[in-house]
């Protein structure tokens, strides 16, 4: 295992951290039911620790009817039986901490399941103590929804409830009613949830869809969005000016940060998407009294990765005083595998190697999705096996999230060593051939390179938390420097398939990927040079 950061360092542990995202349904199944669980995660934490990451982020494992696979929460303070028990969670946290890994968990403050006790109370009538815990509105005189807001998954963001004779709002599925986070009582209840998990020893939170947690109280119509690209969802026809991204989120964010500060170096990262993402990301993380970081969508949904796009994206976070700290990811549970988006099939192996070196060189926190260290590709799930409600609703125009959520291959066998039962999603031969057991002892494997690159980042002050300077994009050549006191590293990457000349620069080679030298970079290659 690589050297862990010095606990006496003035930097908080999370600044520049490498974080490994675990999607619990798909990581490891310990009981043969075909669904991953907490005990399965615990059994494989040695593998995660071997990557030289600083923390794990675990996607939701709470009690849920699983309509949206855990992001529809019915009880924030308990474990769904398919994943295990609270005792299993405590064992997981203890084992992670023994291995030097911090534990970050998802918190979903924008909505709950319609089976949550809060919603059951709220929908009974308009006078009960929790009546205003969700977003309710009267119909228009003709009985139609109160405004034009649309759901991410298609159709109006409103569903009629006969008990209250009102509509309730849902940005996502109708089974995910929108919490009214502007209500102080709701905020207090959500802070109590955070405290419950902090008391159990977690080290941070990823705050899901945080800018969706408040709405315009006047329920004004969203304006029309003007796009030249084709749109597959009604949601994309609007600028979400009133249905999300409200200024009242800032005081609530400060309350979250204040609670976390009481527990020490707790890491908080907001998922922020939408029309005003960059503005909100910076507002949510400004200064020392708000969130630690914000999670960027820039690379996750980009159909291409070019030097110019990277240079423009990272330039938005130059590191000015008071500016927040970015977090970057190329893949996650909602975004397709990067090697299947960004290169031709015959170049996947080379591209995966260049990509991990590039990610590790970026300024900010970096987040790897499970299997990214193996170079996994996007699986093609036939319609009859689809589980993802968004993919089913928009088939075939929405690329299925199931294709990135397929089980982790531990061994090169039909079930990948993931389960002894029937896996909830199928594994492909192409990905089982990249299994951990196949790559583990191969010094030339993608897994070995990932360990090498992340260990180098962890031990290098410049790569971990230094400034990023002199970023240029010249054709397919991306060049920048990572700089800290006493260390300067020049990073060069060729993001195209053809060889190109290197930059005129000297220095000691710290890392070469794909045969790169200072003078020439073959297709999809990269190099770090210490000056």
Task: Point out the residues that are catalytic.
Answer: 208, 262
User: From the CB of residue 218, how many other CB atoms can be counted at a distance below 10 Å?
Assistant: 7
- The two tokens of residue 190 are 């959500």
Cα Dmax for the chain:
73
Compute CA distances 261 → 190, 256, 257, 271, 322, whole Å: 16, 9, 6, 20, 18
Per DSSP (E only), the strands in 381-432 are none
- Which segments of 406-490 does DSSP mark as H helices, in order? 429-432, 436-439, 446-459, 461-465
* Gap between the Cα atoms of 266 and 289, Å rounded: 12
The residues near 391 (Cβ < 8 Å, ≥ 6 apart) are 381, 398, 399, 400, 401, 402
Compute CA distances 151 → 158, 162, 171, whole Å: 8, 20, 5
- The two tokens of residue 150 are 């649309």
Phi-psi region of 216 (alpha: psi -120 to 50; beta: other; left: phi over 0): beta
Q: What is the DSSP string of 195-236?
A: HHHHHTT--EEEEETGGGS---TT-PPPPBP--SS---SGGG
Helix axes 249-261, 184-199, angle to 10 degrees: 30
């Amino acid at each position: 295992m690589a050297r862990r950061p010095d606990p006496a360092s003035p930097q908080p542990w999370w600044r520049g951290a490498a974080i490994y995202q675990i999607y619990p349904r798909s990581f490891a199944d310990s009981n043969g039911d075909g669904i991953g669980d907490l005990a399965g995660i615990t059994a494989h934490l040695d593998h995660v620790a071997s990557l030289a990451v600083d923390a794990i982020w675990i996607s939701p494992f709470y009690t849920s009817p699983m309509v949206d696979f855990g992001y529809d929460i019915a009880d924030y303070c308990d474990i769904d039986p398919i994943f295990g028990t609270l005792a299993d969670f405590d064992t997981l946290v203890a084992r992670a901490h023994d291995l030097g890994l911090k534990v970050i968990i998802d918190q979903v403050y924008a909505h709950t399941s319609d089976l949550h006790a809060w919603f059951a109370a709220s929908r009974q009538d308009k006078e009960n103590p929790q009546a205003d815990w969700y977003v309710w509105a009267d119909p228009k005189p003709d009985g139609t929804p109160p405004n034009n807001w649309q759901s991410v998954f298609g159709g109006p963001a409103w569903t009629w409830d006969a008990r209250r004779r009102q509509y309730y709002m849902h940005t996502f599925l109708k089974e995910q009613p929108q919490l009214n986070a502007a209500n102080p009582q709701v905020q207090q209840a959500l802070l109590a949830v955070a405290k419950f998990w902090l008391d159990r020893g977690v080290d941070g939170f990823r705050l899901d869809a945080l800018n969706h947690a408040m709405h315009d109280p006047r329920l004004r119509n969203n304006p029309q969005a003007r796009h030249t690209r084709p749109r597959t969802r009604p949601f994309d026809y609007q600028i979400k000016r009133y249905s999300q991204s409200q200024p009242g989120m800032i005081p609530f964010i400060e309350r979250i940060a204040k609670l976390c500060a009481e527990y020490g170096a707790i890491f908080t990262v907001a998922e922020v998407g939408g029309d005003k993402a960059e503005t909100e990301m910076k507002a949510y993380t400004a200064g020392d009294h708000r969130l630690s970081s914000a999670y960027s969508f820039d690379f996750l949904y980009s159909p291409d990765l070019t030097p110019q796009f990277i240079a423009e994206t990272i330039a938005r976070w130059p590191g000015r005083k008071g500016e927040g700290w970015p977090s970057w990811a190329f893949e996650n549970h909602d975004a397709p595998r990067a090697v299947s988006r960004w290169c031709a099939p015959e170049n996947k192996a080379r591209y995966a190697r260049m990509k991990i070196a590039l990610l590790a060189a970026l300024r900010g926190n970096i987040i790897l999705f499970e299997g990214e260290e193996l170079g996994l590709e996007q699986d093609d799930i036939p319609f009859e096996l689809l589980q993802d409600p968004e993919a089913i609703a928009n088939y075939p125009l929405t690329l299925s999230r199931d294709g990135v959520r397929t089980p982790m291959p531990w061994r090169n066998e039909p079930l990948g060593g993931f389960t002894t039962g029937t896996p909830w999603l199928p594994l492909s031969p192409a990905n089982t051939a990249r299994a951990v057991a196949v790559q583990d002892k191969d010094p030339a494997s993608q897994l070995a390179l990932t360990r090498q690159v992340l260990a180098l980042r962890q031990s290098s002050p410049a790569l971990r938390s230094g400034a990023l300077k002199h970023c240029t994009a010249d054709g397919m050549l991306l060049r920048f420097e990572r700089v800290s006191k006493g260390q300067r590293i020049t990073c060069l990457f060729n993001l195209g398939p053809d060889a190109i000349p290197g930059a005129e620069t000297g220095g000691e080679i710290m890392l070469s990927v794909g045969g790169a030298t200072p003078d020439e970079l073959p297709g999809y290659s990269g190099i770090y040079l210490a000056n």
